[in-house]
């Protein structure tokens, strides 16, 4: 049963009055959605939540009830819902020029490309803008194949790279793979994350053996040459999983030995979210050949990008290649505003400091709740794996749903992931405060207690 009102921890004060909602009722929206939307679309919670307004780290339902958003529109709202600067820039651009495509010059696109280059390691300075993470990964793989002349791609088990046919082939969860033709010539190497690895040993040994598996896979399952190795620095949908620091250096070395380019999928880990670094790959001491981005770059505006070296990018120029909305002025204005806000509002530092506070608190809760099997992640990209039994690590899938319900009843929205859906994903807008973190920990403590009963 959800907590009683008397037991609900107090949400930090916030100076924003949501507008009075006058649209169709929640029931009407639900009925219309059930009738007219594709049935594949799913909602969280037994009673689907309707959200009609957002402000910074908070969301509001149609009754005006406020929620602390710890999932950020699936790790997309980097600066905060309706951040005033992003909204102002988007509005200004929408009123001036919304769309022409890249067949004409406009300052927005090269400005954002230059800004991205300024954040990248030297040489990674040419960007192609698209609209979604799936598109970005499709394009990255296409470029890698053209550049290397090879076809096979190595991805990592438990990874998620999108839902387009080609990105679905890269994705490695049967739950996200429709039983139809998907991007072929993809092979999935062992996941280096220690908690569920079938390999024994220390995290470093598991990382080394998992990297070695890439070489095995190439020798046994490909012609011996590959186009690319693609991986998320920290797997997001997979349940905030990552490897010991020795994994990526070795994985990249092996991929390159067999002719492959290394693609870092920064769709979730980019733009300061991991706290210490602007890009996730920087935490692991490697430099990719291609970087794909989406989600946080737009703070909610559909925007994605592929950054690489000029000689790799040039392979697309051998034919016409075009993307109608890629680089459109409104998305570019949003992207530039987002990158400025991350600097001006100190969001990467916030991710580092508050991510530490949150992680320390979660580790304390792990000591008090048998439901918590593992706490992991960096900055404001954290995961809490819930288990029915710590010894067997049996996934606590039902309890995870209950924790989500309990947290919602106390005003907190969480994400979940992992193949068994038993990992809480905590990835809030990077503008959250220390008071929000303490409130979240209080709520989680009570939610765990309720789910353990």
Ligand X SMILES: Cc1ncc(COP(=O)(O)O)c(C=O)c1O
Residues of this chain that interact with ligand X (CB under 6 A) are: 74, 132-134, 137, 160-162, 232, 236-237, 265, 267-268, 294
Report, in Å, the least distance between residue 385 CB and ligand X.
18
Nearer to ligand X, 90 or 267 (CB): 267
Give me the residue whose beta carbon is nearest to ligand X.
133
Nearer to ligand X, 131 or 402 (CB): 131
Report, in Å, the least distance between residue 446 CB and ligand X.
29
Nearer to ligand X, 70 or 437 (CB): 70
Report, in Å, the least distance between residue 167 CB and ligand X.
6
- Nearest Cα residue to 182 out of 196, 205, 164: 164
Quote the strand ranges of 219-351, DSSP E: 228-231, 261-265, 290-293, 304-308
Nearer to ligand X, 59 or 139 (CB): 139
Collect contacts of 86-91 with beta carbons under 8 A, ≥24 apart: 86/299, 86/301, 86/334, 86/337, 86/338, 86/341, 88/337, 89/333, 89/334, 89/336, 89/337, 90/301, 90/330, 90/333, 90/334, 90/337
Q: Is 212 helix (H, G, I), strand (E, B) or coil?
A: helix
Nearer to ligand X, 11 or 330 (CB): 330
Nearer to ligand X, 93 or 235 (CB): 235
**Within the chain, what is the greatest distance between any pair of CA atoms?**
67
Report, in Å, the least distance between residue 133 CB and ligand X.
2
Report, in Å, the least distance between residue 292 CB and ligand X.
7
Report, in Å, the least distance between residue 402 CB and ligand X.
24
Q: Is 239 helix (H, G, I), strand (E, B) or coil?
A: coil
Neighbouring residues of 313: CB distance < 8 A, sequence distance ≥ 6: 126, 128, 143
Neighbouring residues of 91: CB distance < 8 A, sequence distance ≥ 6: none
Burial class (CB in 10 A: 0-12, 13-18, 19+), 288: buried
Nearer to ligand X, 18 or 428 (CB): 428
Report, in Å, the least distance between residue 115 CB and ligand X.
20
């Amino acid at each position: 049963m959800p907590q009683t009102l008397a037991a609900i921890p107090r949400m930090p004060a916030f100076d924003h009055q949501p507008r009075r909602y006058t649209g169709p009722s929640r029931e009407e929206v639900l009925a219309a959605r059930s009738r007219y939307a594709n049935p594949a679309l799913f909602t969280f919670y037994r009673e689907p939540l309707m959200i009609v307004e957002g402000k910074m780290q908070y969301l509001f339902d149609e009754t005006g009830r406020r929620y602390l958003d710890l999932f950020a529109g699936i790790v997309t709202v980097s600066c905060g819902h309706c951040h005033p600067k992003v909204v102002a820039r988007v509005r200004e651009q929408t009123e001036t020029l919304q769309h022409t495509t890249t067949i004409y010059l406009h300052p927005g696109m090269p400005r954002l490309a230059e800004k991205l280059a300024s954040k990248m390691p030297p040489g990674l300075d040419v960007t192609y803008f698209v609209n979604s993470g799936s598109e970005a990964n499709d394009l990255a793989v296409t470029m890698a194949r053209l550049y290397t002349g090879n076809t096979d791609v190595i991805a990592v088990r438990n990874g998620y790279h999108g839902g387009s046919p080609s990105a679905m082939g890269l994705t490695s969860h049967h739950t996200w793979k429709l039983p139809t033709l998907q991007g072929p010539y993809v092979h999935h190497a062992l996941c280096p994350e220690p908690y569920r690895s079938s390999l024994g040993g220390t995290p470093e040994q598991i990382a080394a053996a998992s990297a070695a598996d890439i070489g095995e896979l190439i020798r046994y399952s490909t012609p011996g040459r590959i186009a690319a190795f693609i991986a998320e620095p920290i797997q997001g949908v997979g349940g905030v999983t990552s490897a010991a620091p020795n994994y990526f250096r070795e994985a990249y070395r092996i991929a390159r030995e067999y002719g492959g380019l290394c693609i870092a999928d920064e769709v979730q880990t980019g733009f300061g979210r991991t706290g210490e670094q602007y890009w996730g790959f920087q935490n692991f001491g490697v430099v990719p050949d291609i970087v794909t981005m989406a989600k946080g770059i737009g703070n909610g505006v559909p925007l994605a990008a592929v950054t690489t070296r000029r000689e790799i990018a040039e392979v697309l120029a051998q034919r016409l290649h075009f993307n109608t909305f890629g680089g459109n002025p409104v998305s570019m204005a949003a992207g530039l505003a987002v990158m400025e806000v991350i600097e001006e509002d100190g969001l990467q530092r916030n991710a580092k400091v508050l991510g530490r506070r949150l992680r320390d608190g979660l580790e304390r809760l792990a000591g008090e709740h048998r439901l918590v099997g593992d706490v992991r992640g960096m900055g404001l990209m954290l995961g809490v794996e819930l288990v029915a039994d710590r010894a067997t690590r049996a996934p606590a899938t039902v309890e995870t749903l209950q924790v989500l319900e309990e947290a919602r009843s106390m005003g907190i929205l969480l994400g979940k992931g992992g193949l068994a859906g038993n990992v809480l994903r905590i990835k809030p807008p990077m503008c959250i405060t220390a008071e929000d973190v303490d409130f979240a920990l209080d709520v989680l403590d009570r939610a765990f207690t309720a789910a353990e009963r």
